[in-house]
Every structure is written in structure tokens, then in C-alpha cells.
């Protein structure tokens, strides 16, 4: 089975143009034989890198303005704004996993979540996971997710699960994924570099599964100059904001493809899904190598809406 890992930037802070670009990338990957395509963390309509570039407190008003722009271009599934990507999955018979800024229009209509959607090859949404704990200044942009999306789901290409960015440093979150017979473990992220790649390698060994890590490869030249405070946020016109480092690791470790560093395009990799379960003969962290008499994990997967209407 051929996988495709996106290492192209979105049209920053523009939902409609980013969606059009995504549909084109899906078609391109499918034409090259891919049956699974993965987009990085918050790809729609771009990771809010401004939270790391503005001084805390002093940049609060600027953050408010940038947040409003991000909010206006985030995806509200209750308004059908994910449907073009679902249609692309159907038309190309391809499984899509994509990180996006989610606007919860069904409740407050204001709060954003760092989310990851899994769309099957028939266009149906199988899972939507919201990042449990936004990291450091990300909490000025995103709300906290709950356990409802901590699922490994059966897709047309195998059993898939995803954790977002530094959730992959959370041992219990990883364990919850491993305990669901995972074949392909996806880690859409904004992180990159040797430390992150070492984590991806570790997860492949610990979980006995295929691991795909991907961040958005993006340069300052990819950022529209119309973005508020452009000159302050991006003073170095030659900067690689993120090098990407898309990578695929084999079950129990070893690079299968990548890392793709400071390069735009699509990283393709042929994988044998069956190798995941077979690799766990030696070490099955939630199976024969577990000690449930000593350790037990309880996971609450109930959604936690702030308002529950009485019957």
C-alpha cells in the first residue's frame, strides 16, 4: 500500500484557498497510486506560528487580531466545511488524515480546537480527535480536547490512529493507541529536527506499528504579506519557518522513507500493513508484555460538552 505525506504549505490563513490546494494534492497523490494521504498539524488554514513570535502580554492585542483572522478561516464541520475534502476522498478512493483548526459551531461558535480528522476512502468521517493539551502559548488559541477522539479506526487501508504533536510525548495517550490493535500511527505535528525524529523512531519500536510524522514545510515566502503584523512576525525573508521533516518508520524501528528536510512536495512510501501485528511477537506493550496485575490504564472516552439539554 502506498502512502503519501504532504509537505506542501497551505495558503496561510485562507480556508477556501487551502481547501482547493488540498483537493489538488489529494488528486495528485491518488494519481501516483497512493491509498492514504496525511496532512500535518493545523494545515487548514495554517499553524498559528504567531503565538511563538509575539511577546506575551505586550502582543495580546495583536494576538486578538490574528486570532480573529484564524477563527474566520477555521473549519466548522457543522456547516459542511469539511465536505470538499470528503468528496476528494470519495472521488479518488483514498483515505485522508488531516490536521486542522476546528471551530465548534455546534456549541459556542467561538472556541477553536487543534483537531485531526480521519476520512475513509468512501468519504465518511471515521474519527475526529481534538488535541488534549495545547502546548504553552498555543493555549491562547486552542481549547482543550477530550477523550472522545482517542480512537484507532478501521479504514480501507488498515487500522489508523493519530495523536497531534506533543501528545506523542504523553505515555498514557500513546498506550491508549497501542491498546487498539493499531497498524498505522500518525503524528501530524509542528515539531521537527533530530529530537522529534528520535521520538518517531521510539514510537515505532514501542508500539510495533508504522509511524508517519509530518510537519508543514513552509518558508516566509509562503506567507501572504497581507497577514497582520507581517514585518514584525517575519523579518527574515530567507527563513524556513518549518523544515517539514516528513518521515515514515517501520514497525519496531528503521526508516522507511525520509526525512524530507527543507523540501516541498509529497513523500511517498510503500508499506506492508501486516508487518505491524507480526512485529509485536517480540514485544507487545499492551499484550503479552503488559502486566495488568501491576499496571492498569483507565481512559474516559465520553464527550464533555459544556451544555447538556434535558429531555
Residues recognised as catalytic: 41, 131, 165
Q: What are the φ and ψ backbone dihedral angles of 128, each rounded to 5 degrees?
A: -135, 115
Distance between CA atoms of 10 and 84, rounded to whole angstroms? 15
Q: Which three cell numbers stand for residue 157?
A: 487501508
Q: What is the DSSP letter of 282?
A: S
Contact 37, 95 (CB under 8 A): yes
Distance between CA atoms of 209 and 117, rounded to whole angstroms? 20
Interacting residues of 97 by C-beta distance below 8 A, sequence separation 6+: 36, 37, 38, 39, 116, 117, 118, 119, 160, 162, 186, 188
b/e 35-52 (16+ beta carbons within 10 angstroms → b): bbbbbbbbbbbbbbbbbe
- Please state the separation of Cα 238 from the chain's center in Å: 26
Q: Which three cell numbers stand for residue 262?
A: 527543507
- The CB density around residue 309, as the number of other CB atoms within 10 Å, is 5
Amino acid at each position: 500500500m502506498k502512502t503519501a505525506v504532504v509537505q506542501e504549505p497551505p495558503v496561510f490563513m485562507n480556508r477556501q484557498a487551502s481547501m482547493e490546494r488540498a483537493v489538488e494534492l489529494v488528486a495528485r497523490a491518488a494519481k501516483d497510486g497512493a491509498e492514504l494521504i496525511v496532512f500535518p498539524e493545523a494545515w487548514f488554514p495554517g499553524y498559528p506560528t504567531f503565538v511563538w513570535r509575539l511577546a506575551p502580554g505586550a502582543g495580546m492585542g495583536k494576538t486578538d487580531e490574528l486570532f480573529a483572522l484564524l477563527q474566520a478561516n477555521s473549519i466548522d464541520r457543522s456547516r459542511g466545511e469539511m465536505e470538499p475534502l470528503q468528496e476528494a476522498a470519495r472521488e479518488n478512493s483514498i483515505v485522508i488524515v488531516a490536521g486542522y483548526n476546528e471551530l465548534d459551531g455546534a456549541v459556542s461558535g467561538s472556541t477553536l480546537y487543534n483537531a485531526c480528522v480521519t476520512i475513509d476512502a468512501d468519504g465518511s468521517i471515521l474519527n475526529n480527535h481534538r488535541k488534549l493539551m495545547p502546548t504553552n502559548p498555543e493555549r491562547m488559541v486552542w481549547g482543550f480536547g477530550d477523550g472522545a477522539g482517542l480512537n484507532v479506526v478501521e479504514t480501507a487501508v488498515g487500522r489508523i490512529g493519530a495523536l497531534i504533536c506533543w501528545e506523542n510525548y504523553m505515555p498514557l495517550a500513546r498506550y491508549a493507541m497501542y491498546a487498539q490493535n493499531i497498524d498505522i500511527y500518525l503524528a501530524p505535528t509542528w515539531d521537527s529536527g533530530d529530537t522529534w525524529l528520535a521520538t518517531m523512531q521510539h514510537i515505532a519500536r514501542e508500539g510495533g506499528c508504522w509511524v508517519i510524522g509530518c510537519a508543514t514545510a513552509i518558508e516566509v515566502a509562503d506567507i501572504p504579506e497581507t497577514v497582520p503584523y507581517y514585518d514584525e512576525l517575519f523579518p527574515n525573508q530567507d527563513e524556513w519557518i518549518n523544515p517539514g521533516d516528513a518521515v515514515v518508520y517501520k514497525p519496531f524501528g528503521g526508516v522507511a522513507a525520509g526525512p524530507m528536510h527543507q523540501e516541498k512536495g509529497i513523500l511517498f512510501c510503500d508499506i506492508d500493513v501486516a508487518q505491524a501485528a507480526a512485529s509485536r511477537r517480540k514485544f507487545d506493550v499492551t499484550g503479552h508484555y503488559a502486566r495488568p496485575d501491576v499496571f492498569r490504564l483507565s481512559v474516559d472516552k465520553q464527550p464533555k460538552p459544556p451544555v447538556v439539554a434535558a429531555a
